[in-house]
């Protein structure tokens, strides 16, 4: 694939010092590894789920970002939710903006911004809406194309899903791939930070995206992630980000289709194994809680009717071949015995 597009920076603008330290760290860390930053990103008007949550410094941050853009020769990209915010960005020569997932669920708000962007030289990144609605995502992109913008990109950041128990947002890769099929000319980026919700998953999600043929990555990076005022758990230091990027495997024209396909499948298996390990740990913690309740109320450790429900659930959702059925039988027996052992302790 061609050189991937790389966008990085803090979740939110907290201070001029924080932005400068992060921008400087990204420039130096990436440069040492022969990598290049296409855009420095940050949120200055972040739509927050709860009132009172830190939402960025607002217009105050625009002169700081203008300075970074000039000093480091890196275009700056910020999130906007209104046409007025688009005007303010242009005032400070910020010509790249993104439409966030919360704004993307409101077609009228997106149309207002698109109309304001007509005949103006903006790069617009359109994130998927929080809901898993391909038509809504497609429609938002078309709004910007219809007003004549030529520099439009799509960003996949996962979908809010209450059943997702490992990642912050469900990836639903097939939706992003369907979007790419509809708009092959538009760069498709992945935002693994918001899919993951925790920094330890960002590398493998980035690799999955690259293996699927995404055109780049949009990743949150902070000079001091643990002290970040928003999304602390999912941000990487500039050095951590540069190291991670240097270890990713990019598709090579010289690599055979079979090798590319194998890498994609192996990355997906690694992704599934990570989730399984987390879920099994969570399951055992719940088993410990159940054991305490049983002990306090003098209930028996083994309750066959409950376990039979578990077995039926696995059987209803299992592959119908003999080898897999044998594996499930042995796995469930081991799982049951381990649960009983923990409860007896």
Task: Please tell me whether residues 154 and 37 are part of one structural domain.
Answer: yes
Strand positions, DSSP E, 24-170: 39-42, 76-80, 96-99, 123-127, 152-156
Task: Please tell me whether residues 180 and 328 are part of one structural domain.
Answer: no
Among 251, 275, 299, residue at a domain's last position: 251
Token readout for 16 is 């001029």
Task: Please tell me whether residues 104 and 239 are part of one structural domain.
Answer: yes
* Per-run averaged pLDDT (10 residues), the chain, 345 residues: 88 98 97 96 92 94 98 97 98 98 97 97 98 97 98 98 87 94 96 97 95 95 97 98 94 66 77 84 90 89 87 86 90 90 86
- In this prediction, residue 189 carries a pLDDT of 98
Task: Please tell me whether residues 199 and 56 are part of one structural domain.
Answer: yes
Task: Please tell me whether residues 86 and 130 are part of one structural domain.
Answer: yes
Task: Please tell me whether residues 305 and 242 are part of one structural domain.
Answer: no
Task: Please tell me whether residues 238 and 271 are part of one structural domain.
Answer: no
Phi, psi of 257 (to 5 degrees): -55, -35
Report how far residue 240's alpha carbon sits from residue 26's, in angstroms, rounded to the nearest whole number.
Answer: 10
CB contact at 8 A, 202 and 169: no
Report how far residue 93's alpha carbon sits from residue 69's, in angstroms, rounded to the nearest whole number.
Answer: 9
- In this prediction, residue 273 carries a pLDDT of 86
Task: Please tell me whether residues 271 and 220 are part of one structural domain.
Answer: no
Task: Please tell me whether residues 72 and 186 are part of one structural domain.
Answer: yes
Phi, psi of 131 (to 5 degrees): -85, 150
- In this prediction, residue 262 carries a pLDDT of 80
Among 234, 251, 268, residue at a domain's last position: 251
- In this prediction, residue 2 carries a pLDDT of 64
Token readout for 167 is 């990642």
Helix (H) or strand (E) holding 173: helix 173-182
Task: Please tell me whether residues 331 and 301 are part of one structural domain.
Answer: yes
Q: What is the CATH number of the domain that holds 285?
A: 1.20.59.10
Burial of 161 (0-12, 13-18, 19+ CB in 10 A): middle
Query: How far apart, in Å, are the Cα atoms of 292 and each of 5, 190, 309?
Result: 52, 43, 21
CB atoms within 10 A of CB 188: 21
Supply the DSSP symbol for 98.
E
Burial of 111 (0-12, 13-18, 19+ CB in 10 A): middle
Handedness of CA 5, 229, 15, 88 (dihedral sign): positive
Report how far residue 149's alpha carbon sits from residue 250's, in angstroms, rounded to the nearest whole number.
Answer: 29
Token readout for 236 is 């990487």
Task: Please tell me whether residues 33 and 176 are part of one structural domain.
Answer: yes
Helix (H) or strand (E) holding 137: helix 134-146
Among 251, 284, 305, residue at a domain's last position: 251
- In this prediction, residue 252 carries a pLDDT of 62
- In this prediction, residue 255 carries a pLDDT of 61
- In this prediction, residue 207 carries a pLDDT of 94
Which structural domain, as residue segments, surrounds residue 122? Answer: 5-251
Task: Please tell me whether residues 50 and 150 are part of one structural domain.
Answer: yes
Handedness of CA 275, 281, 285, 291 (dihedral sign): positive
Our count of domains for the chain comes to: 2
Report how far residue 41's alpha carbon sits from residue 19's, in angstroms, rounded to the nearest whole number.
Answer: 10
């Amino acid at each position: 694939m061609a050189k991937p597009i790389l966008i990085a920076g803090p979740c939110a603008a907290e201070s001029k010092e924080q932005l400068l330290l992060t921008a400087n760290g990204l420039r130096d860390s990436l440069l040492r590894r022969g990598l290049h930053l296409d855009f420095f990103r940050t949120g200055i008007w972040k739509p927050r789920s709860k009132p009172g949550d830190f939402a960025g410094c607002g217009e105050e941050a625009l002169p700081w970002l203008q300075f970074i853009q000039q000093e480091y020769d890196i275009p700056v990209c910020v999130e906007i939710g209104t046409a007025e915010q688009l005007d303010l960005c242009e005032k400070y020569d910020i010509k790249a903006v993104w439409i966030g997932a919360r704004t993307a669920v409101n077609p009228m708000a997106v149309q207002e911004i698109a109309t304001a962007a007509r005949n103006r030289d903006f790069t617009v990144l359109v994130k998927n809406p929080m809901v898993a609605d391909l038509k809504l995502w497609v429609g938002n992109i078309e709004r910007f194309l219809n007003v004549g913008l030529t520099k439009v990109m799509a960003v996949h950041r996962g979908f809010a899903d209450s059943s997702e128990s490992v990642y912050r947002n469900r990836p639903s890769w097939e939706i992003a791939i369907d979007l790419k099929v509809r708009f092959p000319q538009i760069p498709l980026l992945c935002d693994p930070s918001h899919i993951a919700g925790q920094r330890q998953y960002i590398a493998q999600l980035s690799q999955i995206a690259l293996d699927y043929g995404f055109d780049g990555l949009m990743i949150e990076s902070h000079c001091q992630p643990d002290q970040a005022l928003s999304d602390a758990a999912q941000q990487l230091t500039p050095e951590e980000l540069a190291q991670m990027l240097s270890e990713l495997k990019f598709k090579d024209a010289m690599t055979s289709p079979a090798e590319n396909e194998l890498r994609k499948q192996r990355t997906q298996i690694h992704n599934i194994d990570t989730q399984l390990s987390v879920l099994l740990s969570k399951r055992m913690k719940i088993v410990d809680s159940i054991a305490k309740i049983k002990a306090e109320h003098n209930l028996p450790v083994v309750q066959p009717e409950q376990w039979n429900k578990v077995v039926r659930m696995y059987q209803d959702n299992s592959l119908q071949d003999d080898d897999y059925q044998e594996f499930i039988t042995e796995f469930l027996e081991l799982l049951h015995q381990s649960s009983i052992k923990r409860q007896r302790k």
